[in-house]
Amino acid sequence: LSLFDQEKLLAFTDQTLGVLTEYDARQNADLIKTLEAFFTCHGNLSQTSEMLIVHRNTLLYRINRINDIAEIDLNRPETRLALHLALTIRRLLALN
């Protein structure tokens, strides 16, 4: 993945987060925001729920929705890495 090839970066981001981004837009949901907070808090659910100001059960529901909608397993390290990388790329590209 070339860091200077914006098309490839966008394609990776869309492939990794596209389904969740579309769901958020359609349902007025906060799944991407939830993932961002989850990674900011290093996967700590208590800290993430505090950061988002939601009950822990609400956070668990959102995490399960993310897993179901994106057909992923957030317990897998390679999945977490791909999502975290895609979120970082998305944020960096938005700055440009």
Contact 89, 5 (CB under 8 A): no
7-62 pLDDT, tens per residue? 889 999 999 999 999 999 999 999 999 999 999 999 999 999 999 999 999 999 99
Q: Which structure tokens are listed for 32? A: 């991407």
Q: Which structure tokens are listed for 81? A: 């890495």
62-92 pLDDT, tens per residue? 999 999 999 999 999 999 999 999 999 999 8
3-state secondary structure of 33: helix
| CA 71 – CA 55 distance, rounded (Å) | 24
pTM reported for the whole predicted model: 0.88
- Cα angle at 85 between 30 and 48, to 5 degrees? 40
Q: Which residue has the tokens 């990776």?
A: 12
